[in-house]
Structure 1
Amino acid sequence: MKKLPQISEAEYEVMKVIWEAAPVSTNEVTDKLVQSTDWSPKTIQTLLKRLVQKGAVSYRKESRVFVYTPLVKQTEYLEHENSHFLQRFYNGNFASMLTSYLDNDSFTEKELDELRELLKQREGGSR
């Protein structure tokens, strides 16, 4: 697996917009994030520049607008982050993580039903 860039929480919020709408202009990213955060347009532009420097996104200039495209797939990034989280906090032991969540009542009954259904599907060999 290729080495993925480290992305901060704020940069991740920008990445979510890019993953959802790519290719996406600076203005579109800014409009979306100004609605959901208290960030200024300048802050958002700085985060976009950081993501370019880290190799997480590329851009092209169209007329007077920059258009961004992700270089990292969302699924790939999330798999990496989940694996890192599991290793860091639970020594790679998924059962320990799940037990911790269950012990702290972190799941709703609906989520438990969904988890049961996923486990049934895995047992049956379907994915």
Structure 2
Amino acid sequence: MNKVPNISDSEWYIMKVIWNRSPITANQVIEELEGTIGWKPKTIKTLISRLVRKEVLGFTKEGREYYYYSLVTEQQCIFNENRTFLERVYGGVFKEMLAAFLEHQKLTNKEIDEIKEILDNKVR
């Protein structure tokens, strides 16, 4: 898959379960999310179907059960979310985003040193 589709906030809950326990049935996803989110089983199944239509999830059928698995990695989705956020909020200008985060974020000396090391490694 070349382009990773955007995943809604609700779909992220489903994907996190599937990335951790793939392949998994819809009922197992429902059990995993039970008690953490107040969704009805039908809502979860609808979200799974939506992810299949988006080609983010694939499935195999064994008897009467459908086993779902991810067609994209969590890292691909995170990268896509980061890129979309950067474009939407900061017009694609990374420096603007970084400056805004650094200006409003309390950082320890250790965190500042880690950021410096990341930047130093980037220019090498």
Measured against the shorter chain, the TM-score band is 0.7 to 0.9
- Structure with the greater relative contact order (CA < 8 A, sep ≥ 6): 1 or 2? 2
Partner of 2:96: 96
- The superposition leaves residues 32-69 of structure 1 with CA deviations (integer Å, 9 ceiling, x where unpaired) of 11232111222111111111111110111222322101
- The superposition leaves residues 63-119 of structure 1 with CA deviations (integer Å, 9 ceiling, x where unpaired) of 2322101112221222122112112211222111011112222x4425444323423
User: Secondary structure of the equivalent of 1:59?
Assistant: strand
Partner of 1:6: 6
Aligned partner of 1:15: which letter? M
User: Secondary structure of the equivalent of 2:59?
Assistant: strand
User: Secondary structure of the equivalent of 1:36?
Assistant: coil
**Which runs of 5 or more residues in structure 2 are unaligned?**
none
Could you say if the C-alpha distance between residues 80 and 37 of structure 1 is closer, same or farther in structure 2, counting changes exceeding 3 Å?
Answer: same
| Ranges of 4+ aligned residues in structure 1 off by more than 6 Å | none
Partner of 1:122: 122
Aligned ranges 1:36-51 → 2 under 5 Å? 36-51=36-51
Q: Distance in 2 between matches of 1:73 and 1:46?
A: 21
Q: Give the fraction of aligned pairs with identical amino acids, expressed as a percent.
A: 40
Partner of 1:70: 70
Aligned length: 123
**Which runs of 5 or more residues in structure 1 are unaligned?**
none
Q: Distance in 1 between matches of 2:104 and 2:22?
A: 38
Partner of 2:29: 29
Residue 120 of structure 1: CA displacement? Answer: 4.0
User: Secondary structure of the equivalent of 1:67?
Assistant: strand
The TM-score with structure 2 as length reference comes to: 0.83
Partner of 1:60: 60
The TM-score with structure 1 as length reference comes to: 0.82
Q: Distance in 2 between matches of 1:2 and 1:58?
A: 16
